[in-house]
Amino acid sequence: MLQALVVNSVTLVDNLMIGELGDLALSGVSSSNRYYLIANFCGNAIIAAGVIFLSQYYGAEDEGKMKECFRILLIFSLMTAVFFTILARIFPERILRFIIDDDDVVSVGAQYLRICCISYVPTILSMSIAGSMRALGKPRVPMMISIFSVILNVLFDYALIFGHFGLPALEVSGAALATLLARIIEMTIYLLVLKQSDLPFKTAVKDLFSFDRGLTKRLLSKAVPLLFNEFLYTFGTTFLLKCYSSRGVTVNTAYTMSMTFADLFFVLFSGMATATSVLIGIPLGAGEMEKARDNGYKLFVFSLLLSVLFGSLMFSASYLFPLLYRNVSEEALALAENFMKIMAFFFVVYMFNTQTYFTLRAGGQTRATMVMDSFFMWLVNIPVVYFFAYHTAIPVIFVYVIGQSTDFIKGFLSWHLLRREKWVANLTV
């Protein structure tokens, strides 16, 4: 969680620097980053599926299978990164026009996307190694590397966006180049750490394409629902942004600012994801079913208690927007503040549903996660928001409240899936 907090803090600083270029630049970069989220989540879905098996094989002390899991998650996640990179290089304007129908925003966003998309491959490679290390309960090295990487990213941003240290002021293109350089350096460090380590999943380059057919089939049977779910979910969040942005570029800018700031508090989700994977996945792999079940419910209660604290802090922090952004319109600032207050109010509900998702995933229940996550979004949340955004004249802030309220319904589904306890399963036998 500390790692996520540092990363999101620096991302906020990055966002503030781009905000110095005005509403247009901020909206263009944020729209490009929506596409990055889709690519990132799809690659991470395969990594997450591999980590489910890797953590359980770690509990079962089967080093050979751990190596195979790492090879499978690495190759298939890199394939998704290459796919999304090619699409972004060829069709940047078309991708962005789906998100927001504004020629100026699309033009600025395309400058950023053409360069930044090259960073997808090194990012996914780093995520594969980091995710595998965390699955073994070894988060310290990934945390240190990520902190170094994001600080480096901010320094590159400062130099390349505004033209410091004798470098040209490249503005939006400079922000994209800064991200690319930081991701390449981060990947290089991870590869060096892996080469020098004795991690049980470490594998030789010559064996990268050596897969056991049975394990590959079982892993992909979990990965495909996760991949499908992550694509539908992130595509859904992008479509929701499109619905809100139909009320103007100011809404797009405000939503971006609020989400970037809110991510400082959503780090709780990141911390609970890692804890759930380790405290449930490893006991399941060792055949300690009662311990895994007990850990699952304790983590659930603990996450809800923490969510009350984090939600309260988020609400208080919402008043800081006017102090942070100097070159953004007052309308966007006021709207961003209201967006964040609403998220703070719903924080406990978000945590309830998210912790259920992490618990189900740790036990390999990827189809159940798809039902409660992306299926619910497309069958309930999106139709509701679409109707009120495009077919009514009510203010966008009320459209947002109505959309978030559907999470109460999702909570009943989440609880039902959790109480079935099909997630208490050993996948190594």
pLDDT at 5: 52
pLDDT at 14: 66
99 touches 249 (CB < 8 A): no
Q: What are phi and psi of 188, to 5 degrees?
A: -60, -45
Rounded-to-integer distance, Cα 165 and Cα 160, Å: 9
For residue 91, being part of any structural domain is answered with yes
pLDDT tens digits for the chain (429 residues)?
544 555 555 556 666 777 778 777 877 887 888 888 888 888 888 888 888 888 888 877 888 888 888 898 899 999 999 999 999 999 999 999 887 777 888 898 999 999 999 999 999 999 999 989 988 878 889 888 988 888 898 899 899 998 998 888 998 899 899 989 999 999 999 999 999 988 888 888 887 787 777 888 887 887 777 778 878 888 888 889 889 988 888 888 888 888 878 888 887 888 888 788 888 888 887 888 889 899 989 999 999 999 999 999 999 988 876 677 777 778 888 899 999 999 999 999 999 999 998 898 888 787 888 888 888 999 999 999 999 999 999 999 999 999 999 999 999 988 988 888 888 888 766
For residue 425, being part of any structural domain is answered with no
Rounded-to-integer distance, Cα 337 and Cα 356, Å: 29
- Tokens standing for residue 387: 């109707």
pLDDT at 429: 60
For residue 352, being part of any structural domain is answered with yes
Q: How many domains does the chain have?
A: 1
Q: Which residue type, as a one-letter code, is found at position 129? A: I
**Residue 6 zone, left/alpha/beta (φ > 0; ψ -120 to 50; rest):** alpha
Segment holding 11, helix H or strand E? helix 2-19
- Tokens standing for residue 213: 């057919």
For residue 429, being part of any structural domain is answered with no
Rounded to two decimals, what is the model's pTM? 0.75
For residue 126, being part of any structural domain is answered with yes
Four-CA torsion 424, 41, 132, 75, nearest 10 degrees: 110
Rounded-to-integer distance, Cα 378 and Cα 229, Å: 11
pLDDT at 12: 60
Structural domain boundaries, residue 416: 2-420
For residue 15, being part of any structural domain is answered with yes
For residue 188, being part of any structural domain is answered with yes
pLDDT at 379: 93
Rounded-to-integer distance, Cα 250 and Cα 333, Å: 9
For residue 428, being part of any structural domain is answered with no
pLDDT at 212: 77
Burial of 166 (0-12, 13-18, 19+ CB in 10 A): exposed
Residue 349: alpha-carbon gap to chain centroid: 19
